[in-house]
C-alpha cells in the first residue's frame, strides 16, 4: 500500500511540473514525496525532496513552509545519524522559527509527531 502512495506522490509532482503549476504546488509535491520516502526509510532521498521543497517554498515566499521543509530535512538527517548534535541544533532552530507564523504551530506538531512515529529519540526541544 505504501508503494501506491509513493507512486501517487511521484505522479502528483510530475503533473505539477508538466502543467507548470507554480512554486507552491511544487513545494508541496516535493514535500509529499519526501514524506513517502521517509516511510520506506530512504532518509537521503527524503532529505533531497525536503530540501527541494524548501527551495520552492522560498520562491513562493511561504516562510512557514520553508521551515517545515527544512525541519523535515533535518529530521531525515537525524534519522540517518541519530545523536548528531549539529542536526539536533538545526531541528531546534527550525522549530523555533515556526513559532508565531501562520500555520507554524501545526507545522511544529507535524515535525514532532513525525519524529515520534519514526522512533527518533529527540532530546526535549
Judge whether residue 47 has pLDDT over 70: yes
Question: pTM for the complete prediction?
Answer: 0.92
The Cα 75–Cα 84 span in angstroms is 11
Dihedral Cα 68, 60, 18, 42, nearest 10 deg? -20
The whole-number pLDDT of residue 35 equals 96
Per-domain residue ranges for the chain? 2-117
pLDDT digits (tens, 9 = 90+) for 56-97: 999 999 999 999 999 999 999 999 998 889 999 999 999 999
Q: Are 73 and 47 in contact (CB under 8 A)?
A: yes
The Cα 112–Cα 125 span in angstroms is 9
Nearest to 118 by CA among 9, 19, 36, 62: 36
* Phi, psi angles (nearest 5°) of residue 16: -60, -40
Amino acid at each position: 500500500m505504501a508503494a501506491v502512495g509513493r507512486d501517487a506522490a511521484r505522479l502528483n509532482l510530475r503533473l505539477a511540473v508538466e502543467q507548470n503549476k507554480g512554486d507552491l504546488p511544487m513545494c508541496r509535491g516535493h514535500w509529499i514525496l519526501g514524506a513517502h520516502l521517509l516511510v520506506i526509510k530512504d532518509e537521503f532521498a527524503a532529505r533531497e525532496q525536503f530540501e527541494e521543497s524548501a527551495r520552492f517554498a522560498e520562491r513562493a515566499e511561504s516562510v512557514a513552509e520553508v521551515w517545515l521543509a527544512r525541519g523535515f530535512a533535518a529530521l531525515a538527517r537525524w534519522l540517518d545519524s541519530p545523536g548528531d548534535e549539529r542536526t539536533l541544533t538545526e531541528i531546534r532552530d527550525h522549530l523555533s522559527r515556526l513559532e508565531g507564523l501562520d500555520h507554524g504551530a501545526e507545522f511544529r506538531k507535524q515535525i514532532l509527531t513525525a519524529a515520534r512515529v519514526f522512533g527518533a529519540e529527540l532530546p526535549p526541544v
